[in-house]
A and B are shown apart, each in its own frame.
Chain A
Amino acid sequence: MAEALFQARDLYLTLPDLTRKPLFGAAPRIEILKGLSFALPEGAITGIVGESGSGKTSLGRTLVRLLKPDRGSIVFAGRDIARLDDEAMRPLRRDLQIIFQDPFSSLNPRKTVGAIIASPLLLHNVARDGSEARKLAHEALAQVGLPESFAGRYPHELSGGQRQRVGIARAVALKPRFILADEIVSGLDVSSQAQILDLLMDLRRRMSFTMAFISHDLSVVRRLCDRVIVMRKGEIVEDAATAAIFEKPQHAYTRLLRDSIPLPEVSDGWLKES
């Protein structure tokens, strides 16, 4: 197995429960991640699956240090980043990119697609000046299958699939070591979903990056990911190679998740199985 890009040990995260916050004083905290230990192998796409409230999104956000864990270590490329403050994290940001679920709310509506892709390149000193940033932005658009003319468009002029391509272009333009993809195809129709997954598989053949692919859809994960981490209520129930997860699930919950997916073929009685 490849070496781990991420090594998490005993990760605990609590967040304030604002629905139960008293008028004065602090809100009670709820445990979101309950002592997780796992590794993300370098160059692999690891699927993180689970139902709503399982903690999969919080886990992703903790890895890229949008959230600070209460306890535990996150070793990224040989360095523990669990306790670093914002200042110390800044030089690492280029290597920790995120693609969000809803490309419409994650892309600035007042900027052109070209500027959306180019400005992080300048911020992280990947490009020395505006013209180099533009050139790299055009290259990134080509990589995600969009024509150069899209650089002058605004997010609202694009379809959902095209916007998601822009989100991917913005991330890959920085040539990061790690990309967090959080439910990036769940808002799309099946035909654009298939195109975006094709694009991701194509990109990983041409570039080298490690990815955590957060999804509630096991069928999509089966196609794309090398490994799968199954989460439930803030804990990892299973962590194995994708084929093993689907063909020989060790945990009853993994089996339940798999068997709850309605396959597109007629079979009487499936609804009665439980």
Chain B
Amino acid sequence: MTAPYLDIEGLSVALREGARLLRRVSIKVNPGEVHALVGESGAGKSMIARAVFGILPNSIEILEGRVALAGEDLNAMSQGPRRSFIGKRAAFIPQDPLTALNPSRRIEPQITDRLIHILGMKTNEARARALALLGEVKIAEPERVLRLYPHELSGGMRQRVLIAAAFAAEPRLIVADEPTTALDVTVQKQILALIADMQARHGTALLFITHNLGVVAKLCQTASVLYAGKVVEQASVRQLFEKPQHAYTRALMAATPRYDRPDESLKPASPELLAALAREVADTDAAWLKERHHG
């Protein structure tokens, strides 16, 4: 068995003096695997992404658990070495490419910065690599695009640039946080195909954060379903869709709109289910508190 490249083990975080936001989350992503992190807003998806990069806001405290990358415990490192350790191994694709790109800088340095700083490339070398990457993400006239500013590109083009930037330093893990949510469906499909293609070509592990079950089904191999900061189900994607085990997963599937089965889709969750889910979370917290005080 291969060791997981990303190994999150029993991670709990909380607002300082406040409620838990992640409840003993364990997620493993193997080398080259595409793992979906599914959940609705507020479930804690982005919190997990931030924990992977060690950039949780100051208001948030890690209560227990560990995050390991390439077998190394990130919490055991001091900040400087941790930054460069993560920078060489992992990259991030955000949801909104316009806020992720610096509006006052041309595209070129936004791709080559990490090549120069992380890999120690020379400017010319980095530029050649940036050109090759833009070609790989199927951007026409890459020389011209390198000289443009972000606002001169369409939403889909910007997302392509960010994908190129994410793959630039050959990371072994990419975390993508809802990278297609803001895009039109036809562009979404192209970007998903591009991410799948790049991921396969580079053999990168991918943690794909989304609320869209359709995207999970079409792109990912394994999945974790997150509800209220708790992983309620973890399975291969095939299993997840054929035999969902947890009531929340089933409710999520029933609520998802489907144009091919309009009358069976968009079913709201019953109040009984919502009450049961709230009870499950309360029970988890009660058991956890008891263990902390006695253990």
> Which residues on A are within 8 Å of B, measured CB to CB?
51-52, 189-191, 193-195, 197-198, 216-220, 222-223, 246, 256-258, 260-267, 270-272, 274
Contacts and interface: CB of A to CB of B under 8 A. Distances in A.
A172 B263 CA distance: 25
Given A220-B266, A223-B265, A193 B257 contact: yes
A267 B262 contact: no
A263 B214 contact: yes
Contact of A219 (B184, B196, B265): B265
Main secondary structure of the interface of B (DSSP, over half): helix
A197 B266 contact: yes
Contacts of B188: 260, 262
A271 B266 contact: no
Contacts of B184: 51-52, 216
A166 B211 CA distance: 25
Contacts, number: 107
B192 A262 contact: yes
A59 B64 CA distance: 54
Interface residues of B, number: 41
B157 interface: no
B268 A271 contact: no
Contacts of B255: 190-191, 193-194
B41 interface: yes
Nearest to B184: A51
Contacts of B267: 194
Question: A interface, by DSSP: helix, strand, loop or mixed?
Answer: helix
Contacts of B187: 51
Of the candidates B192, B214, B257, the one having the most CB atoms from chain A within 10 angstroms of its own CB is B257
Interface stretch (B18-26, B134-142, B160-168, B215-223): B215-223
Given A190-B255, A194-B266, A262 B215 contact: yes
Contacts of A193: 255, 257, 266
A217 to B, nearest CB: 7
A193 B192 CA distance: 24
Contacts of A262: 188-189, 192, 212, 214-215, 217-218
Contact of B268 (A51, A194, A265, A274): A194
A9 B21 CA distance: 55
Contact of A51 (B185, B241, B258): B185
B269 A191 contact: yes
Contacts of B260: 263
Nearest to A53: B184
24 contacts: A52-B184, A190-B211, A190-B256, A191-B268, A193-B257, A193-B266, A198-B268, A217-B257, A219-B259, A222-B262, A223-B265, A258-B259, A260-B185, A260-B188, A262-B188, A263-B260, A265-B217, A265-B241, A266-B218, A266-B241, A271-B192, A271-B196, A271-B218, A274-B193
A223 B259 CA distance: 7
B237 interface: yes
Contacts of B51: none
B95 to A, nearest CB: 14
B283 interface: no
Given A189-B41, A194-B267, A220 B257 contact: yes
B217 A266 contact: yes
B252 interface: yes
A197 B251 CA distance: 16
Contacts of A274: 193
Contacts of A272: 193
